[in-house]
Amino acid sequence: MIPKLLQQEVEREIGEGIEFSSMLSGGSINSVAKVKVKGEAFVLKWNKATLYSMFEVEEKGLHLLGMYSGELIIPKVIGLGKTASYSWLMIQYIPEHSHSSASFDAFGRALATMHRNTSAEYGLDHDNYIGSLAQKNDFQKKWIEFFRACRIEPQLSLAIDSGKLSPSISKQTERLYAKLDSIFPDEPASLLHGDLWSGNMFATHNGYTALIDPAVYYGHREMELAFTRLFGGFSPSFYSGYHEAWPVEPGFEDRIDLYNLYPLLVHVNLFGGGYIRQVEQILKPF
């Protein structure tokens, strides 16, 4: 149930009463509920007041994606606030439907179109979060520098400092860094969702695809595509649609594991376990 004081604050902020609420599953970081206001459904997310910054950057990420989403559906932000005990974010509720081969094809094409929105540099004008972990987005002119300084190094340092990974692994990553210039193809910085796994996308009633819980930045588009391969859930028609709209450079299959070092390190820091072995296996050749 929504805490009473939080509900009162939300109602005061939006100027309307909440008529109905029911808890939603899937919120591993925040509490999430479906609420109705004047007969219309919304999603209310909340957490400790000290985590207000997470909702601030989520609002920014949703707004940025919404500006360039094209045929992708991005929920609109209704309200954002903080009480003495809670921080909260209210967004548009979008009913979830099952994907078909045709809708996955359209999703791939729409994502390729979004990726064509580019920046002169890799990064973002503010830091944000990947899951519950801080995500560094300092602008860099070269992808390999951004990948090293803002993606791998912060998570690697965190994993070593916590004892999840051995300090000796740093030598392997240094040898990897020395080869990145010849591994990653040179492409402009594309607008990325940043946390595109199957739990953060779903089909809508009209065959479009909605994206939620972004970790937005401008990065290499292959990074996003590799991330979709990490946990599955994307139909082959998604990839065929994307590649017909905007083919990737030859050798992408060989680069997937290197791109996925970042989300795997994030999962090492969040969960440990088998993700440690996956990171070690990727770095073993170096």
Residue with tokens 């937005």: 216
Two structure tokens written together for 118: 């580019």
Two structure tokens written together for 110: 């729409």
Strands 133-135 and 128-130: antiparallel
186 annotated active-site: no
Residue with tokens 């594991």: 257
Q: How far apart are CA 133 and CA 231, in angstroms?
A: 19
Of the residues 125, 127, 186, 195, only one is catalytic, namely 195
Q: How far apart are CA 94 and CA 200, in angstroms?
A: 13
Report whether 132 contacts 196 (CB < 8 A).
no
Report whether 73 contacts 65 (CB < 8 A).
no
Residues 6+ apart with CB under 8 A from 211: 65, 69, 72, 73, 74, 193, 196, 200, 201
Nearest partner of 31 among 41, 46, 20, judged by Cα: 46
DSSP three-state, residue 75 = coil
Buried b (16+ CB within 10 A) or exposed e, 40-55: eebbbbbbeeebbebb
> Which residues form the catalytic set?
195
